[in-house]
Each structure stands twice: as structure tokens, then as C-alpha cells.
Amino acid sequence: MGYRFPERIAICGAGVMGRGIATACTLAGFPVIVYDIEQAILTAAKQEIEKNLHGAVKRGKLSQNEMDKALARITYTTDLRNCTHSNFIVEAIIEDRTAKLELFTQLESFISPHHILATNTSSISIGSLQAGLQHPERFLGLHFFNPAHIMKLVEIVRGPFTNEMVVEVAQNLCDKLGKRSVLVKDVPGFIVNRVARNFYNEALRIAEENIASYEVIDQLVKSAGFRMGPFELMDLIGIDTNFAVTQSIWEQYFYELRFAPSLLQKQYVEAKKHGRKTGEGFYNYR
Ligand code: NAD
């Protein structure tokens, strides 16, 4: 089975990550199609991608003409079939195994076996997703970091059934995107998100125990050299997504206490205070 280097990229899910990945892909010269279930989300995604590119112009990284061309390379759709025009599809929908598998099942009914399917999941086992696919050999994890058009690292996750040529195409794609790719094993949370669980969870526990406020914890961590504090970072990531990732890693490690999610974080999720994307999280952005 031959797998070709992508001529265009399709991105399923136009949330925090889909927007950043689309920006990175168009900046590297790829035609991009962005799919989501609601037109309103696509409209917001278009605005944010425009803002990302305006930012690059302001910082002198891009000319006005290049920005116009980059914007013209992106199309938006609520019709999943339009993604089949691309031979490389990156899924960046909610962190939910069932939702992801439903999407892949639909996609597999339209696409040929040489299309490559990649998931941006932060924590879900690639093998468990492959188990639900007709063609698991063309599937892998391609884990970008937030903001995806700025952060250089991408974890490439080879599942138990991933074809070696698919890994090679993904590595070449990351090179073309100007990313630094690292091949990692298919374990819960891969490497970075497993390490990062303690960063978020301990900070949440310190706040729960009333030892210090979100602001103080963030300030201290930044004074120690981190670029962002844990609460600022959870607001950027999306508290709902961060909570789903913690829960997923905790479950996959057989409920080991060291990965246990925080009740405080759950309360923010339930109150729909999801961080920047909803206008309020640990901090207020309105
Ligand atoms: P998000 O909540 O910002 O966006 C998810 C998007 O998926 C929404 O626009 C929603 O409308 C859409 N969606 C939901 N169901 C869909 C479906 N069936 N078909 C198409 N679209 C659907 O989430 P996000 O932060 O962009 O995260 C997306 C994925 O990327 C998750 O798997 C997450 O774990 C991973 N990830 C997130 C971050 C981060 O910092 N936020 C970093 C790396 C990886």
C-alpha cells in the first residue's frame, strides 16, 4: 500500500487546536480544509485564524501579501465528505474516544485505504482507536501542542498496527511544517502530558487546600522560570479538555491516585467556566 506525501490537509474539529493546526499548515503552504459540526464554530475559527496571521504580520514574520495567500488557502465546511479531497486528515475534536471513533467510522466510509488518518488526542490509546478501524495500518497519533502554530514540538505516536510508511509521511510532514517531531510510545498521555499531570494536579490541590490563590501559584511558578503558571495554562488549553485528559490518563493507569482528577477542576467544567474559550475560567477574560 502506497502512502503519498500530503498535497492538502483536512482538519476535523475547529476548536482551540484545529485553529492552530490549520494556521501552521497554511503557513507551510498547504491548502487546508477545516471541518466542524456547526457553522458558528467555523465562523469563530476563521476569525481566530485571521487574528493569528495578523499577529504574524505585526511581528514581521509574514508580509501582507503572504497573509492574504495563506488565508485564501483555507476553506471551511460542515460537510465531512469535503475532507476526502485531502489524503491526510488530522482529527482534533473533543477528547472522547466514542466521539472520535464515530467520526473515523464515518470518514472510513468515504475515503480510500491510502488516505492517512491522524489523531491529535492528548491521551487516548492509539491502539484502542485502531481497534475500531477498518484500516488501522493508516492511523497514528500526531500530537501538536498549544498554540499549534507556535509550539515546535509534535509527538508522533505509533500504534500497534501503524504502517512504518505512515510514520515516515508524518515525520516528513512535521519537517515541512517546521516542527520538531519525536516518536513516542503508545502509553496513556504519551510523554509530555504524563509529565504535565503533576504540574496541573498539584497546583489544583494547593489551591483546594487554601494554601495559595491561583494568582500567587502562577506568579511563583513563573518566577521559577516557567513561561506560564498552571492556572493560566489550563485556561489556555481549555479546562474541559484538560480535565478530560486527566480523567483519561487516570482511568488508563487503573485509577492510580497520583493521577486522580481534582474536584475543583470538575466544578469549573460543570459550571462551563472552561477558560479563555468561554470567557472565564480560573481568570476572567471578558
Ligand atoms: P475544543 O473543545 O476547543 O474543540 C473541539 C472541537 O471539536 C469543537 O469545535 C467541537 O465543535 C468539535 N467537535 C466535537 N465533536 C465533533 C465531531 N463529531 N465532528 C467534528 N467536530 C466535532 O478542543 P481542543 O482543545 O481543540 O482539543 C481537540 C483535541 O486536541 C483533543 O483530543 C485534545 O485532547 C487535543 N489537544 C488539545 C490541546 C489543548 O491545549 N487544548 C493540546 C494538544 C492536544
Give the model confidence (pLDDT) of 11-65 as tens digits: 999 999 999 999 999 999 999 999 999 999 999 999 999 999 999 999 998 999 9
Name the catalytic one among 95, 108, 155, 280: 155
Best CA proximity match to 77, nearest among 30, 117, 37: 37
Helix spans in 209-260 (H):
214-223, 230-237, 239-252
Cβ neighbours, 10 Å, residue 169: 20
Give the model confidence (pLDDT) of 140-155 as tens digits: 999 999 999 999 999 9
Strand order in the sheet with 180-184: 74-77, 32-35, 9-12, 88-91, 116-119, 139-144, 153-157, 180-184
Q: What's the predicted TM-score (pTM) here?
A: 0.97
- Output the CA 209–ligand 1 centroid distance in Å: 31
Rounded to the nearest integer, the mean pLDDT of the chain is 97
Q: Is the pLDDT of residue 1 over 80?
A: no
Ligand 1 atom 43: residue of nearest CA: 145
**CA–CA distance, 177 with 181 (Å, rounded to integer):** 10
Give the model confidence (pLDDT) of 88-137 as tens digits: 999 999 999 999 999 999 999 999 999 999 999 999 999 999 999 999 99
Cell 485509577 locates to 255
* Amino acid of residue 169: V
In this prediction, residues 71-78 reach a mean pLDDT of 98
